[in-house]
Structure 1
Amino acid sequence: MSQISLAFSGHEGEWHLLHESIGISAMHMQLLKNNKVVMFDRTDFGRSNLSLTGGRCRYDPNDTELKIDCTAHSILYDVGTNTFCPLMVQTDTWCSSGAVLPDGTLVQTGGYNDGDHVIRTLAPCNGYYCDWVEFPQALLERRWYATDQILPDGRIIIIGGRKQFNYEFYHRNSQPSSSSHNVVWLNFLRETRDSSENNLYPFVHLLPDGNLFIFANTRSIVFDYKQNRKIKEFPAINGGEPRNYPSSGSLVLFPLDENRPIEPEIMICGGASRHAFQLVKKGTFQRAASTCGRLKIMDENPTWKMENMPMPRVMSDMLLLPNDDIIIINGASSGTAGWESARNPVTRPLIYNPHQDERRRFSVMSASPRPRLYHSAAILVNDGRVLVGGSNPHIYYNFSGVEYPTDLSLESFSPPYLSPVYDRYRPRIIEAEKVVSYLQSFTLTFTVPRFMKTSVVSVRLILPSFTTHSFSMNQRMVVLKGVQVSCVATNTYRVAAVGPSTREIAPPGYYMLFVVHSGIPSSGMWIKLQ
């Protein structure tokens, strides 16, 4: 097998400024199937720097800052054209959560104040003639700092939130009176709460057996949501320091590879100490954690395997890249999440290669000129870049007289695999099926200037994340099995692959499909898994 070594090629990735200002601070981000990104922050800090169009204004007698507001707090950004337009959101989306339904509609849940019981939906549209639809009092409990996870049956489970030790479900066709619409107690969330509430935005991932992995504070369990029972509890993460908000470490579920027995593994990196939030009030900005912990969930006696990042990090985002690497981006090296609560921004992303020798897994990338602290976010887009926005560690927009001004800009980071030096190895999909079924064979055709016969070609599906507050909800990669490559013309190849085995491995919905040749991914194309 031949694989190009990207991390040690000498290329450290490239940053590009896309917009000096998009008018809002991108606190929450979600890529949709039409390559448009929904971004939003909150409504209760006053005016943004982007006006609503068509003479629209938000009239909200419950708003804590401004009852009449004619500015936008959400935008729709077009990846292909690098343009954006304002969206109208009525209720407060501060510190909310989201997931995408199998039909591609974003379901966005909760928030603060008059938004804490609201469900909002946004369906992908071809033009800019779409907007949020809001359903007041659709949630049974207040959901502020909750986590959403799409399930194999198309429902969304909404877990936790501030002072909420429970979960509930959303299904498009369910009514509040139906048996599927109720609140279920989850004692694990009560047990993991401490004085700083370091179990907010609990880390949740759907496991290949259909159960949930839930991490809160320092503890984690496998949870059967159908029977409302804990199946397994793991040892507390080494070091005894919390990793959830406001300590704000980050977590990924490693790619699920169908070419071998699937052994789900998660990794958690960074975070702040248990007392960091209280220490900030006394003027002390404590060094963040530099450790990462890996856990193989199905091991008979699972234990945390700890590694060290090149630098400490809090409030960073972790994203799966299509070539198996993981990028760790944004954040600070001291302090914690919260207003004015961090110092020493970390502007250099890390690339983590889980297949390298342990001493060579981390590579330090080029630095952005812009700090990305509290209320920043990052997502992977279909061309392989990472979109980065946000950073507002203040109660209001504040652009002067502070150490870290509010940042309304939008950047992209191009990982090393996008360097022109790898263009001769880069596959380009020219034909593929738009719909993929479970366990069914399908084909696609790609071109590549130089095909390495000794390399492995793989086909991957990536479910885009809803990213906010250092956690990329619903992020998922599946490596498909049965990949066979045949040459059909000069520099042109056909790949046969098999759709995912089960809905538990890959819930139905819209995924980005990538072909990876010799460690170099194609641009992603959208397929519907059903």
Structure 2
Amino acid sequence: MILQILVLTLLPPSTADDVGGQWQILQNDIGVLPMHMQLLHNDRVVIYDRTDFGTSNLSLPDGKCRMDPNDTALQVDCTAHSLEYDVASNSFRPLMVQTDVWCSAGAAMSDGTLVQTGGFNDGDRRVRIFKPYPNGSDWEEIPFALSVRRWYPTNHILPDGRQIVIGGRRQFNYEFFPKTGGTSKAYSLPFLIETNDRLIENNLYPFVFLNIDGSLFIFANNRSILFDYARNKVLKTFPAIPGGDPRCYPSTGSAVLLPLKNLQAATIGAEVLVCGGAPKGSFNEALNRTFVKALNTCARTTITDPKPEWVIETMPVGRVMGDMILLPNGDVLIINGAGLGTAGWDNARDPVLNPVVYRPSDPPGLRFRLLNPSTIPRLYHSTAVLLGDGRILVGGSNPNIYYNFTGVPFPTELRLEAFSPPYLDPKFENLQPMILSPSSQTKVRHAQQLVVRFKLTGGGVTSDTVEVTMVAPPFNTHSFSMSQRLLVIGGENVTNVGNNTWDIHVSIPGSGTIAPSGYYLLFVVHGKIPSKGIWIRIA
């Protein structure tokens, strides 16, 4: 295999049009650090932190207290370490988690239930379930539901409805939840041994994506494979990213599966984009208080190509611990993080306050745009998720072992804010579609034909200017959004039905390998400006 490397330089933005987006503080103190976040189909976000920090700033209700004789900080704790945030009312309520969820993983199942796996100490073999009932739901815990300890693993939802749980600290294997046939087993994955740097590791929270044929793309350290989990077989080994620098925790870049398009075609391509991270040796340098510049490169490859190549692109600024969020219009937002150092306790400096948008369909060298900055550093243990109205919910940052608000370079951050990308600027309001039907929470089937009716006062609607996208809401922690997926499902057969109203005919993807069953946010996008999303469920 011959690897061709194309380095694409970036011209810095030079016009006001290249800068945009607005920030809004939603809550000044939610009491619990958002180390982990998941948007559910009732437009509420489950947020949680580790339990062994001692007390949080949010009390449990009705005099409840968590009794945990194994907790290393506080065995009787009457404060919450999880909460449910209601997007519509901008309010939150405490939840009660029993065992330590520090550096765990999760995914929303096909019925919308959040299943969370692993953690630390007495939580490392637990599975926790949160069902999005209208009122009053809370965490349920299943002891010893995992075959082995899982700390820093990655989960992904599968076409058959199960989750696969991959890796974790000193775990070079994978398993499934729920178990099938009563089998409780972990399966060896030598690739995780091969990418392990021993003391520094750099293969924790591996980047995992479901390929269009049902195999898994797994990236750890600086290497990647296509993996058939059903047969425990490596199907393809990709070249290492040029330069050889690590991209996974604690070097902590991020990655996305770029939007899947042309789903009715005979051949569908799938591309992965990996951005940021820290050069080799940065973690040890940070321990010695030398903070190395973060990587300013992204690497992009077509994982369905018989002879894949990595193409290197240059970001406007280096970034470690950045989150990569798929926007409804198919762009990628890169947000949070630092310009120096690595992940880990107090291991980073120079917060990167400006988000960057990456436009995959633009010409090479012109894909990045620098956006307006926040005023809040978001470093280690920060999170970001897409909301149904197109905003990005941003929280977290605690590079300290406990909640610490004074006397440290970057205090624990309990403010919650929203970033509105440029497409939500008021000047585009008359160009934003409004979905009239179907109603939110509509159930659909694989391969079903669907008519989406929308209203648009600004005009200019043609099959060339409108498309429909579906976004699977991911589980976000440690700069990676697990099970994140965007599908472009239609842009043809647009019909004017009068009164600034149009119908667009779309086709739900035909299989679970393309679109696993579950809840998706559906958007109508007009000239890169998305509507507010509605929820549909592939049942």
Query: Common fold, TM-score beyond 0.5?
Result: yes
Q: Secondary structure at the match of 1:487?
A: strand
2:407 is aligned to 401
Matched, 1:113 2:128: no
Counterpart AA for 1:53:
P
Q: Secondary structure at the match of 2:423?
A: helix
Asked whether the equivalents of residues 467 and 491 of structure 2 are also in contact (C-alpha less than 8 Å), the reply is no
Q: What do residues 332-391 of structure 1 show as CA deviations (whole Å, max 9, x unaligned)?
A: 000000001000000100001111122221111111010000000000000000000000
Matched, 1:459 2:465: no
Change (3 A) 1:482 1:457: closer
How many Å apart are 1:300 and its aligned residue? 2.1
Matched, 1:233 2:237: yes
The alignment's TM-score, normalised by the length of structure 1, stands at 0.96
Counterpart AA for 1:187:
P
2:504 is aligned to 495
Counterpart AA for 2:324:
M
Change (3 A) 1:352 1:10: closer
Matched, 1:187 2:190: yes
Counterpart AA for 1:144:
W
Distance 2:221 2:523 in 1: 34
Q: Secondary structure at the match of 1:280?
A: helix
How many Å apart are 1:298 and its aligned residue? 1.5
Matched, 1:337 2:343: yes
Q: What do residues 204-250 of structure 1 show as CA deviations (whole Å, max 9, x unaligned)?
A: 00001000000000110000000000000000001100000000000
1:68 is aligned to 76
Q: Secondary structure at the match of 1:501?
A: coil
How many Å apart are 1:450 and its aligned residue? 1.6
From 133, 140, 143, the counterpart of 2:140: 133
From 509, 516, 519, the counterpart of 2:518: 509
2:60 is aligned to 52
How many Å apart are 1:440 and its aligned residue? 1.4
How many Å apart are 1:259 and its aligned residue? 5.1
Query: Which runs of no fewer than 5 residues in structure 1 stay unpaired?
Result: 1-6
Distance 1:388 1:447 in 2: 30
Counterpart AA for 1:109:
T
Q: What do residues 418-449 of structure 1 show as CA deviations (whole Å, max 9, x unaligned)?
A: 00111111000111161121111111211011
1:169 is aligned to 176
How many Å apart are 1:456 and its aligned residue? 2.3
From 233, 250, 254, the counterpart of 1:250: 254
Identity of aligned residues (%): 53
Asked whether the equivalents of residues 482 and 498 of structure 1 are also in contact (C-alpha less than 8 Å), the reply is no
Distance 2:153 2:19 in 1: 38
Equivalent residue runs for 1:364-443 within 5 Å: 364-432=370-438, 434-443=442-451
1:200 is aligned to 204
Matched, 1:485 2:490: no
Matched, 1:81 2:89: yes
Matched, 1:150 2:162: no
How many Å apart are 1:451 and its aligned residue? 2.1
Q: Secondary structure at the match of 2:61?
A: coil
From 311, 314, 321, the counterpart of 2:320: 314
Equivalent residue runs for 1:17-28 within 5 Å: 17-28=25-36
Asked whether the equivalents of residues 24 and 417 of structure 2 are also in contact (C-alpha less than 8 Å), the reply is yes
Counterpart AA for 1:490:
N
Matched, 1:218 2:247: no
Distance 2:226 2:469 in 1: 26
Q: What do residues 125-176 of structure 1 show as CA deviations (whole Å, max 9, x unaligned)?
A: 212x0100001111110000000000000010000000000000002xx46x
Distance 1:419 1:515 in 2: 17
Counterpart AA for 1:121:
I
- How many residue pairs end up in the alignment? 519
Change (3 A) 1:392 1:49: same
1:4 is aligned to none
Distance 1:182 1:214 in 2: 20
Q: Secondary structure at the match of 1:188?
A: helix
Distance 2:537 2:24 in 1: 31
Matched, 1:102 2:110: yes
Matched, 1:327 2:328: no
2:39 is aligned to 31
How many Å apart are 1:453 and its aligned residue? 3.7
Counterpart AA for 2:192:
L
Q: Secondary structure at the match of 1:222?
A: strand
